[in-house]
Structure 1
Amino acid sequence: MNTNQVTFREATIQDLDRIVYMLADDVLGNKRELYKQPLLESYIKAFQSINSDPNNELIVACYGKEIVGVQQITFTPYITYQGGWRATIEGVRTASSERGKGIGSMLIQWAIQRAKERDCHMVQLTTDKNRPEALHFYEKLGFNASHQGLKMHL
């Protein structure tokens, strides 16, 4: 694969099957995602909500017509930092057949550039503690584990 030929665009509903497949084709993702035909209605409703929200972007990386990566970027205004905006990156996946070729780095760099275009003062993301290699990957890209994050599943 020539990574110079990777392009980025907003996902369409026609991309959703491939997106869910990539999310499920992962050590942790296969425990929380359910890829089956037809797709669960919850995936379709989530896509529609993301797609209709101007502060959410579901971005796919494409090599030719093949989707090889995905990420969601959410832009959020905050009262802190003098009313500044932040970009949160979530759901980053590279197709299992294309991992290790630089697509993940390209996705993150694309998201950082998009955050700058939207005048965000910060880009943030989380990674599962069971993915130490992901933490190292993000640190190599300039992210700093500056905060302790907490979550509560409901």
Structure 2
Amino acid sequence: MTKPDIRRATAADLPAIVAMLADDPLGATRETPGDLRPYRTAFAALDADERQHLMVADRDGTVVGVLQLTVIPGLSRTAMTRGLIEGVRIHRDERGGGLGSDLIQWAVDEARRQDCGLVQLTTDITREDAHRFYERLGFAKSHYGYKLSLS
């Protein structure tokens, strides 16, 4: 099996990306893979923003993983720039093979290249496997997270 290439996502990748976002108990309740219109609008905004890095893992023309890295300038911590990792998903047939680690390592390396002082992420409180995964990669629990739905 060939090692996947990590590359910038294209609009043609959206069906595969959204399918992965929807392929778990949480995603199944909040994603709409049958209607790609909102995702196309969001993709256009992401693609136009140089601080957004929507990346896919591509194995022989098939998208098997996705991750978004956002570079955020800030004033706190002596004007530290941060990298925010979101939307990490691995195709169910690829899980457990190291691809998630490869994507996270890509994001950490890119954040360093962009002069970020830290990389942060959040994961749903119910995703215990994800918590263990991120801790194995050196991430530490450091904050409580809160959300306020606006819709």
Q: Give the CA deviation at 1:40.
A: 3.1
1:6 corresponds to which residue?
4
What whole-Å deviation, never above 9, does each CA across 1:31-67 have from its counterpart, x for those lacking one? 110111xx33211100000000011010001112111
CA distance in 2, matches of 1:96, 1:146: 29
| Aligned pairs (5 A) from 1:51-62 | 51-62=47-58
2:29 corresponds to which residue?
31
CA distance in 1, matches of 2:33, 2:14: 11
2:69·2:83 contact (CA, 8 Å) conserved in 1? yes
CA distance in 1, matches of 2:26, 2:95: 16
CA distance in 2, matches of 1:148, 1:50: 27
Aligned residues: 150
Q: TM-score, normalised by structure 2?
A: 0.96
1:74 corresponds to which residue?
70
Q: Does 1:44 align with 2:23?
A: no
1:145 corresponds to which residue?
141
Runs of 4 or more consecutive aligned structure 1 residues displaced over 6 Å after TM superposition: none
SS in 2 for 1:153: coil
2:15·2:36 contact (CA, 8 Å) conserved in 1? no
Q: TM-score, normalised by structure 1?
A: 0.94
What whole-Å deviation, never above 9, does each CA across 1:100-135 have from its counterpart, x for those lacking one? 111111110110001011010010000001111111
Q: Does 1:112 align with 2:108?
A: yes
Gaps of 5+ in 2: none
Q: Give the CA deviation at 1:82.
A: 1.4
CA RMSD of aligned residues (A): 1.0
Letter in 1 for 2:137: L
What whole-Å deviation, never above 9, does each CA across 1:71-116 have from its counterpart, x for those lacking one? 1110000101211110000000000111111111111011000101
Identity %: 47
Gaps of 5+ in 1: none
